[in-house]
Amino acid sequence: MAKKYFGTDGIRGRVGEGSITAEFMLKLGWAAGKVFAAQGVKNILIGKDTRISGYMFESALEAGIISAGVNVKLLGPMPTPGIAYLTRTLGAQAGIVISASHNPFEDNGIKFFSGEGTKLPDRLEFAIEEMLDQPMTTVSSDQLGKAFRIEDAAGRYIEFCKSTLFGRNKLNGLKVVVDCAHGATYHIAPSVLMELGIEVHQIGVSPDGLNINEQCGATKPELLQKTVVEKGYDLGIALDGDGDRLIMVDHAGEIVDGDELVYIIAKHKQALGVLDGGVVGTLMSNLGMELALKELHIPFVRANVGDRYVLEQLQENNWSVGGESSGHIICLNKTSTGDGIVSALQILDAMVSNNASLHELKQGMTKMPQTMVNVRMQERCDPLANADVQQAVAATEETLGDRGRVLLRMSGTEPLVRVMVEGDDVELVSSLANGLADQVEKALA
């Protein structure tokens, strides 16, 4: 059964439209409070990123939860993974994140964490949606919840991030540019790095409620690239608005994406004897990572696109390292969810332990050229159910051999088929992708 409000990563949209209104958030807080109360929950944490609408939604959720008889602990601006960590450690049974991650300030959204700091199971999301259809009632005055502000939330999370790195002083001498996207890590990431002895230059640390992710951060790393090269720093760290995504820049100004970062982390953990199995990527992970891991005899599996599916595969296989090329990286032996700061520290540890630059560490993996073409359909359908499409895919795969890959993937939001081809030769890949896209378009017309 499809969910009415929840997507693969919570509820998200344009502020003032659909579910992203103060009225809906009041009801959502109440509905979540009622469902969690039935599970024995007494305390729910609320944290947010820096976009201006967070104030409005924080107040609405707080009122709704309290009206359901559940206490609220307010964290203020806090990275999504920080909220997951504090939910586990502050005696709360659930956590709420007010954030639209890498989206512009006009958008916002809601994500929930369980008391273990993981995404909510589907059954609880369905239960919340069912409760949203019920009339809102308020518990008696003597049963109302209370609200508390956690004053030392940032300090607690900073200490946790530092604790994921062995030998806190061995990063002395590194020079790092950090870009916090004017988001939730603006008061966290620089402190973590500086307290570990790193010389830090900060950008994207002046949020005004309207500039989150604006021409900066993990989705727009051009300013970071320029700054690293101009200042002659060792590397750059780019986080997104809510701090769960990481992209890095080496000393030459070259972007190091999530696939390359996962490869570096896995290789380092293998050398230390603490890899705990294999690596989980997604359908979009570059073939170059799969081949590089194969050379290291590290098992690799692909999950559906989305960090929740990466996490599911990690848990199913009892592995610890996985991620997406977009920069969502999960290190389950360190924390319960994707964490940009914690992931960055694992890369810095690999650099220092190997006495190697980021540029050198990424050389073990060669990214394959990849071309993506979007094909619009008249109506949504499974393209691989079409015999002509199957034949065209088979012909493309035969041309690529074992040094290439074809993926046809339905868009989750539009009537589009995403046609992706990877291989050794950039011109061949482009030609094959466009040719396959033409065949798909004809077959589905």
CA distance 341 to 192: 8
Alpha-carbon dihedral angle through residues 126, 128, 131, 133, given to the nearest 10 degrees: -70
Question: Catalytic residue at 101?
Answer: yes
**Among 127, 130, 45, 142, CA closest to 94:** 45
Burial status of residue 317 (CB atoms within 10 A of its CB: 0-12, 13-18, 19 or more): middle
Task: Return the SS3 of 95.
Answer: strand
CA distance 401 to 420: 15
**Among 232, 239, 262, 237, CA closest to 248:** 237
Label the pairing between strands 235-239 and 175-179: parallel
CA distance 184 to 212: 9
CA distance 67 to 56: 17
Evaluate whether 227 touches 204 at the Cβ level (below 8 Å).
Answer: no
Q: Torsions phi, psi of 271, nearest 5?
A: -65, -30
CA distance 259 to 38: 41
Strand partners, 407: 420
CA distance 323 to 375: 27
Active-site residue identified among 53, 67, 101, 326: 101
Evaluate whether 246 touches 340 at the Cβ level (below 8 Å).
Answer: yes
Report the catalytic residues.
101
